[in-house]
Amino acid sequence: MSGGLRRNTLPGFGLTMGLTLTWLSIIVLIPLAGLFLKTMELGPDQFWAILTSRRTLNALKISFGLAFCAALVNLVMGMIVVWALVRYRFPGRRLFDAIVDIPFALPTAVAGVALTSLFAQKGWLGAPLAELGIKVAFTPIGIFVAMVFIGIPFVVRTVQPVLLDLDSEIEEAAASLGANRWHIVSKVILPSLMPAVLTGFALAFARAVGEYGSVIFIAGNLPNVSEIAPLLIVIRLSEFRYADATAIAVVMLVAAFLIIFAVNRLQRWAQVRAPAQ
Amino acid sequence: MKGRFPMAIEVRNLVKKFGAFAALDHVDLKIRSGELLALLGPSGSGKTTLLRIIAGLDWPDAGEVSFDGQNALARGAGERGVGFVFQHYALFRHMTVFENVAFGLRVQPRAIRKPDSAIRARVKELLDLVQLDWLADRYPGQLSGGQRQRVALARALAIEPRILLLDEPFGALDAKVRKELRTWLRALHEEINVTSIFVTHDQEEALEVANRVVVMDKGRIEQVGTPSDVYDNPETAFVHGFIGESIVLPVEIHDGVVRLGDTALNIAAERGSAGPSKLFVRRHDMQVSAPGWGGLEGTVRRVRTFGPIQRADIAVPGRLGETVIEIDAPRDRELHSGDIVGLQPRRYRIFADQP
Amino acid sequence: MTMETALPRYTSATDRSRRDAMAARSARRDPRTEPGPVRWLIIGVAVAFLSVFVVLPLVLVFAQAFSKGIAAYLSALSDPEALSAIRLTLCVAALSVSLNLVFGLVAAWAIAKFEFGGKTFLISLIDLPFSVSPVISGLVFVLLFGAQGYWGPWLQAHNIHVLFAIPGIVLATTFVTFPFVARALIPLMQEQGTQEEEAAISLGASGLQAFFRVTLPNIKWGLLYGVLLCNARAMGEFGAVSVVSGHIRGETNTMPLLVEILYNEYQFVASFAIASLLAMLALVTLVVKTVLERRLDEGQIPHGH
């Protein structure tokens, strides 16, 4: 093979790939690698001690536990919203469709102060809830509410295109075979939406676990009660306890990677199950 | 159009692999100055790869390409003086027809770029040539397939190429437009005097338009010749099977006798040939006669009559039970289903099976 | 019986049978949709949910911002601290977005126009910042540039300020918004293939000419889409910036940080006034995004002028 033969028609591969890798390394890879290097310095005992301290454990429990509950609510409510938006025609449908994206677009600090004022004891919703004896702001319920807010778009936006693409012929086929509406929904439609629903759930969960801005205002931030893991990282940093901050960050980062890995598997599953045209 | 002498192309020992798949397997080809050549073959035969390598859009793993004796591989696609018409035209969708055609002139280095007025005049001339001057301000999305094809051609011609390459030029068009464009392409080729190569999988297109046809299969050239050459004197079993409709029967040659199953056929084998082979006969070269004279016999299963011929399905005995062959017979002797007839190939070719 | 009386009776018989058929159908229900009450229940729940969780907070931002009247709103926005936060936010966003714009174009060219091994892996590396908590995105830069970080002592010795200064904020914002432009462009450019660029090259265009005259016009809406989302996130980023900014008043406070500070000081009108600007940014972003999505769906083919 003569070495002088050129491989690509379009120019610039070497240059653009080189720049891409360099820039990616500077902005993303080296900083993330630094985090892991810092953890290595800790040693397993110290690492373990930090993670199993009562305050850290509780913060992680609160973050992961409430994020899971919030993602579950997002799953159910997301399905209802998707169904209404895709299957029915009602006044304001397009507006509500656009509104779904607001939690994506609204800066988290704005969402945080807005939700806090809304659910505070004298807030528009806080006051009537207080009369019922329910306190939302500055309690774990507040964290949960904020997590539900920021998770809304995920289930809706992952399931919506799948439900839109769902061939109406399969429903007609099921109907012609004698299935009633309940059978069609539960045995035909929901199973085909499953991969998308789980993907949306996982994405909402991942987002809620790492969420900071919209949660800290409404959370109350009482150690062991309403203190989320990202806030504990910030507190440790402000105390210059870098080792503690790093250890918690690594756990959360690994969890996030695992979730993304699961999402990728789900996507592959969805592709396998995509109807062959 | 321009007085330059069209280019001769030579391809030597070209190899191109995509992973384990050999798209081109040691290909040699000489293309004469000014000819209109068709690269014909099924998909995956390597014809498009060969065309793209000549254009400079792909590079071979080994081998040489020269234009008029000069190494072309040393030059990039833009420096070869090659006009390329893409299968799906690759028109710039955000530019008008006019700007599409002008593109090659506008991107020339400032030193040799023509003044704008000259570019406009040239584009106008080209649009006249392809009869699309009235569509100059339209966008590609607003044109029909045939019109897009002609814009793509005008765009390729704008840079005054000495070689014109067309990848499946009629592939994406409907049957009627295709026929019109064929005639038109031939006429255009005579007018512009440029060495032209087009890729096609449609034998009718290749035989009707080209001066010479290169038949390719599995990365290799099977035969190069004029249209009548490849049709009348196919050199390989592949060419016989690919071009024109053929009856193919598995036969066995032993001591110069050709047998189909147990039946000895009244035809001569080439000297020296032996073993399992394929007998190729054109449909209209299978003569129907009265049975009982020895040789191949069969039972008529079904007859369709149209125009001057009758097409009959005839079951003949084979090694593994019956095979049904389709023949075209003149209507001087009516065939009926159930008839037993004798079959005698008038012209035929026998190719030994590849071991 | 005369024909006059027989005829109407005949018609009414078919009417009745038609009515019966309809009744039977509605009793068995059309299996292709839900019964009316269920339908309205689902719509009601969806609308109520979105109203309480999304519309109400948004309305509240503006209600609070204007609760003491327009004058108070305007004076809150013209406060020097507010103006400095707005200036800093615009400046940081402009820098991060430009960096990511150039990176996005370069990366999309390399990834979408060429074939190479490990492409999926490279794309998931580019995606990484999406899955990292904002606080951690800030933390990694503290670990690099902080006083106890890897390069902190060296930077201090040379009197270079990265952390608790604008470079740190730009870095953290660039990290958080890293994937936006590249991810908007890569699928679009992959879908468009390389034929038009090949055609341009074969017509004698240089690589840059092919890029600026052919590629760029084809991806302009996708590019705008990526830049839009990148900008919205860059201006609104809170967590990462809050970790690296140091909250120096009038110097390193971006708009989201100022919202927090004012809120914690019970200056609700001022806090929500700044928040209302950010909320408007979000709304404008959503409107433009919807328009761009429609453009992208149309496949970017201009249909005359």
The per-residue DSSP string of chain A comes to: --TT----SSS-HHHHHHHHHHHHIIIIIHHHHHHHHHHHHH-HHHHHHHHHSHHHHHHHHHHHHHHHHHHHHHHHHHHHHHHHHHH---TTHHHHHHHTTHHHHS-HHHHHHHHHHHHSTTSTTHHHHHHTT---TTSHHHHHHHHHHHHHHHHHHHHHHHHHHS-HHHHHHHHHTT--HHHIIIIIIHHHHHHHHHHHHHHHHHHHHH--HHHHHHH---TTTS--HHHHHHHHHHTT-HHHHHHHHHHHHHHHHHHHHHHHHHHHHHHHHSPP-
Cβ atoms of C276 and C65 within 8 Å: the answer is yes
Supply the pLDDT for residue B3.
46
Q: Give the 3-state secondary structure of residue C145.
A: helix
Q: C175, C290, C188: which is closest to C233 by C-alpha?
A: C175
Tokens of C234: 């860059």
Which chain B residues are closer than 8 Å to C198 by Cβ?
57, 77, 84, 86, 90
Residues near A216 by beta carbon (within 8 Å), at least 6 away in sequence: A112, A228, A231
DSSP single-letter state for residue B140: G
Kindly report the nearest CA distance between residue A10 and chain B, in angstroms: 8
Tell me how close the Cα of C273 comes to any Cα of chain A, in angstroms: 10
Between CA A84 and CA A80 the distance in angstroms is: 6
Rounded to 5°, angle at Cα B71 from B70 and B73: 150
Asked whether residue B299 carries a pLDDT value surpassing 50, the answer given is yes
| Calpha distance B280→B294 (Å, rounded) | 20
Structure tokens at A20: 């891409």
B interface mutation test: which of C114, C196, C202, C218 has the most B CBs within 10 A? C202
Query: pLDDT of B197-206, one tens digit each?
Result: 999 999 989 9
* Residue A7: per-residue pLDDT: 61
Look at residues B240, B195, B147 and name the one whose alpha carbon lies nearest to residue B51: B195
Q: In this predicted structure, what is the pLDDT of residue B5? A: 76
C239 touches chain A (CB under 8 A): yes
- Return the amino acid letter for A236: R
**What's the Cα-to-Cα distance from C202 to each of A180, B23, B196, C215, rounded to whole Å?**
61, 22, 16, 15
CA angle A172, A174, A179 (to 5 degrees): 120
Mean pLDDT value of segment B273-287:
87
H-helix or E-strand spanning residue C185: helix C179-192
Lowest mean pLDDT among B57-61, B319-323, C76-80: B319-323
The values of phi and psi at residue B295, to 5°, are 85, -160
∠ CA C250-C255-C261, nearest 5°, is: 70
Out of B61, B73, B77, closest to residue A9 by CB: B77
Partner-chain residue, chosen from C198, C203, C206, that has the shortest CB–CB distance to B155: C203
Q: Output the pLDDT for position C295.
A: 83
Q: What is the mean pLDDT of residues B299-318?
A: 87
The tokens describing B216, both together, are 């390719």
Range A114-146 burial, b when 16+ CB lie within 10 A, else e: bbbbbbbeebbbbeebbeeeebbbbbbbbbbbb
| CA A131 vs CA A119, A127, A128, A177, B213: distances in Å | 12, 7, 5, 53, 90
Which residue of chain C is at minimal alpha-carbon distance from A181? C31
The Cα C72–Cα C66 span in angstroms is 8
Mutation for B interface: A1, A5, A7, most B CBs within 10 A: A5
In this structure, are residues A6 and C207 in contact, taking their beta carbons and an 8 Å threshold? no
Distance CA A157, CA A79 (A): 10
Which residue's entry shows tokens 């309690």?
Answer: A139
Cα–chain center distance at B24:
17
Low-confidence ranges of chain A (pLDDT < 50): 1-5, 276-277
CB-count burial class (<10 Å; 0-12, 13-18, 19+) for B321: exposed
Dihedral angle sign, alpha carbons of residues A74, A76, A79, A85 = negative
* B96 three-class SS: coil
Residue A139 Ramachandran class (φ > 0 left, ψ -120 to 50 alpha, else beta)? beta
The dihedrals phi and psi of B172, each to the nearest 5 degrees, come to -95, 15
pLDDT of C220 reads 92
CB atoms within 10 A of CB B249: 24
- What pLDDT score was predicted for residue A5? 44
Contact C134, C176 (CB under 8 A): yes
Q: List phi, psi (to 5°) of B74.
A: -75, -15
**Please, what CATH class does the domain formed by A43-273 belong to?**
mainly alpha
C-alpha distances (whole Å) from B158 to each of B27, B105, B106 are 31, 7, 10
Measured between CA atoms, how close is C290 to chain B, in angstroms? 22
C-alpha torsion sign, points A60, A61, A67, A71: positive
- Asked whether the beta carbons of residue A110 and residue C256 sit closer than 8 angstroms, the reply is yes
Is the dihedral angle over the CA atoms A10, A11, A12, A14 positive or is it negative? positive
What pLDDT score was predicted for residue B355? 65
User: How far apart, in whole angstroms, are the C-alpha atoms of residue B110 and residue A210?
Assistant: 55
DSSP B133: G
Average pLDDT over residues B299-320: 86
Chain B positions in Cβ-Cβ contact with residue A1 (cut-off 8 Å): 61-62
Q: What is the largest CA-CA distance in chain C?
A: 118
Which residues of B have a CB under 8 Å from any CB of C? 55-57, 76-79, 82-84, 86, 88, 90-95, 103-104, 107-108, 138-142, 155-156, 158-159
Neighbour order of strands in the sheet with B163-167: B82-85, B163-167, B195-200, B36-40, B212-217, B220-225
Asked whether B253 and B269 are in contact (CB, 8 A), the reply is: yes
pLDDT beyond 90 at B53: yes
* Region at B167 (left for phi over 0; alpha for psi -120 to 50; beta for the rest): beta
List pLDDT tens digits, range B64-91: 999 999 999 988 888 888 999 998 899 9
As a whole number of angstroms, the distance between CA A93 and CA B13 comes to 65
Return the percent helix, strand and coil in chain B, to nearest 5. Answer: 25, 35, 35
Q: B126 falls in which pLDDT band (50, 70, 90)?
A: very high
Distances in whole angstroms, Cα of residue B329 to Cα of each of B245, B322, B350, C295: 14, 21, 22, 60
**Phi and psi (nearest 5°) for A243?**
-60, -45
Please state the separation of Cα C130 from the chain's center in Å.
Answer: 12
How many other C-beta atoms are found inside a 10 Å radius of the C-beta of residue B108? Answer: 17
Per-window interface: A 4-63 vs B, CB < 8 A = 4-7, 9
Strand order in the sheet with B21-31: B21-31, B9-18, B62-67, B70-71
CA distance A199 to A201: 5
* Token code pair at residue A172: 């007609």
CB B86 within 8 A of CB B167: yes
Tens of each residue's pLDDT in chain C, 305 residues: 333 333 333 334 444 555 554 444 444 556 667 788 888 999 999 999 999 999 999 999 999 999 999 999 999 999 999 999 999 999 999 999 999 999 999 999 999 999 898 898 999 899 889 889 999 999 999 999 988 888 888 888 888 888 899 999 999 999 999 999 999 999 999 988 899 999 999 999 999 999 999 999 999 999 999 999 999 999 999 999 999 988 888 888 999 999 999 999 999 999 999 999 999 999 999 999 989 988 887 754 433 33
3-state helix, strand, coil in chain C (%, to 5): 80, 0, 20
Sign of the dihedral through C-alpha C294, C296, C299, C301: positive
What separation in angstroms does the CA of A241 have from each of A59, C17, C101?
16, 83, 36
Which residues of chain C have a CB within 8 Å of the CB of B91? 196, 199
Biggest CA–CA distance in chain B, Å, is 83
